[in-house]
Structure 1
């Protein structure tokens, strides 16, 4: 996934993968245009949620701009948990954007790689309550296929008639980025001609929110939910939980050109590593994460100084943002502009890396870098060029997107203007 036989040969040697379609459903919008407009506004989507009332943290970043049942349509919707519905909607958008038609493509050459960290936890919790209250007969016979994390990959494959490899990597908050890295390998290894890849997550339940709050991961800024997610700010105190999905259609660049497809950007490298340090805390010096970034740069054939933009993981937690600052300032002393979408959309866990990959593609396309929400000034100890207050108009040729997850998982994706 991170380093292969083509490492270091670069896009010019035929290792480039084209992003030919994108689709997403996020707290900032259920299509790329509304998502991009809200992301560039720098205004958070966090707000109080009635189902979280009375908890130590009663706010989150939900997806509520569309009726998911209506968007999915058909009779199959009744067997899908919420995270699966998000994934199906995003995948359909991406395939439509790529101008591909599942009714006529060779489905055996189409793969699906969809990262999910948790799965249908709300379905599990609901059925556990039914079991306790009413006994075994109250438990749904669909509980298992609705709650398992790979349900999203399976349902997307069914919806798209994709008969190639269908995989569900689980690397916590790096899962969406891991899926994109795996998809690249499937394409360059010749296993697939098209891969629909990304991530999905929906865990805005009292149990999960409470669990994250109990471990001290969430912001407790309950008096100001919209100001709670503040990546790289001196007074950051934790992340805000979000939900969503994003999917990218990936093809070998030469094959995409041959069919007349539009390359929105090129995925020229992907790197992964593990901190091997702690179950939840990142290695403070960022050396593990640096290995992932350097592997992505090696695959792309870039020197660090050629990177023109960093889409940071930027969780708004004290430990992550300090580690990522150390990594960026050490590896990129030329100070490329940095953004962090979680200030607007919160932390969507397994979906984050995929949503941020789409944001990176849009930055390359539109020569516009979104600002980091709620960041007015950097701490003196953070020598970064963070985009603040308003979007920055700047042509970017090459960018990297960082994703890190519990368990010490690190993934970096290198994207280039098409």
Structure 2
């Protein structure tokens, strides 16, 4: 079934347009009080309803159409003020708010001038006894306020639009920065490691050819391969050191804070310091980013009241397990949708590929959902990629 897209007011305006509607309780009360017949009251109520339609449309239209709705509002207010009571002119605050939505400054100035001329002349045509001269001070204050409100509304609208533009610009800058960083890393990998690895591949082929024909040459090629491998390792470490690293302990502190804010009881098990000693800065950064993504999913999507983070050393690898007792474990439809959308799982898998890590998600656990991240401890001969040392 297609959802209804009708909205009374634009979402960006918040609740203020709805709160302003409460102000109409008093005018409606006086409308019935001042009407002499039920038909007169019904006619006045019809005008107010038409005014509400114009008030609603003034938030959605622009240009000539908005001016048309503003003109309708002014005509209705003048009718109410002339036939019932000039104090209905105070309803003009609704119209000035609509005028403030005009993007054209010339149109806005023209609409303000038209409103002031119409409202200033209205009391002189009132069918009721109304002391125009005696009420001059109050009327003057009203007209000055009505003239100022559109400019205040215009300034507020432009402030909101500027904030949105700044937000969009910041997002664009962040996106371009990330794209540039990815391109820089790709260039560095191609320019530095690409050449070295190509040389290792060629020398490996040469060593294979010389194993039987010229063993001494084969040994020399193997030594050069070892030197090239060490050079590649150094280049990789230099690239990694230039990347933005995330501290695992700081990320764990952030996890505690976000869990506390979401009223989730968080438990942490395992030796974090040992994990940082056993793994390189790159691996710890990837673990920290996976932990961040897992906690974001727990807080945003699971509806859990308890979460357990566990670091386990298996001897050859380190496992990060994030388990929650979220309600979605018992909601098949919600669970299936969560898995389909991924909730950042694809990005986590991409990061883990850099360190040959594995991601496993068990949404069918009896007590909730369990996400397990496994990263190996890489050791090759006398060269150990743990803690960044050789």
TM-score (norm 2): 0.23
**Structure 1 or 2: larger strand share?**
1
**Structure 1 or 2: larger helix share?**
2
